Amino acid sequence: MLVDLGSVNGWAVLVATVVGYAIGAVWYAPRAFGNRWMAALGKSREQLGDPVKPMIAQFFLTLVIAVALALVVVRFGAVTWIEGAAIGFVLSAGLVATSLLSDWIFCGFNMKLYWIQTGYKLVCFTAMGAILGAWR
């Protein structure tokens, strides 16, 4: 087996999930990037509708990311926050940022939207990786 799920620290995954979710809450707050994000989307708060269901879904998606990232951290044997952060950053830059850029190329998304989304993922994955690397 590549990685035993039992080798993953469940508490570290939960804390990484909460931290990743909290980073998103701050990142997309109106005073940070929230207003610029909505402008880049070309939508108003009213057009986006009630945020409760998407926010609940996002928490569980962040949990899935934390589990996947924990599996990679364990597989690569990261045992420090720096090693975990590096893994989170590399995965985010190499997989997520490039995938979002591909969407931008083919779908013509607003480049400001790309940078807001990508910046969040880079910060989020790096922080989550740091937690998962440090807390094994």
* Residue 2 placed within a domain: no
- pLDDT (tens digit per residue) in 21-51: 999 999 999 999 999 999 999 988 889 889 9
Helix (H), strand (E) at residue 100: helix 98-107
Residue 122: predicted pLDDT: 98
Residue 100: predicted pLDDT: 92
* Residue 103 placed within a domain: yes
Number of domains within the chain: 1
Give pLDDT < 50 ranges for the chain.
Answer: none
* Residue 18 placed within a domain: no
Residue 2: predicted pLDDT: 63
* Residue 90 placed within a domain: yes
Structural domain for 78, as ranges: 7-13+24-134
3-state secondary structure of 39: helix
CA 105, CA 91: separation in Å to the nearest integer?
A: 20
* Residue 19 placed within a domain: no
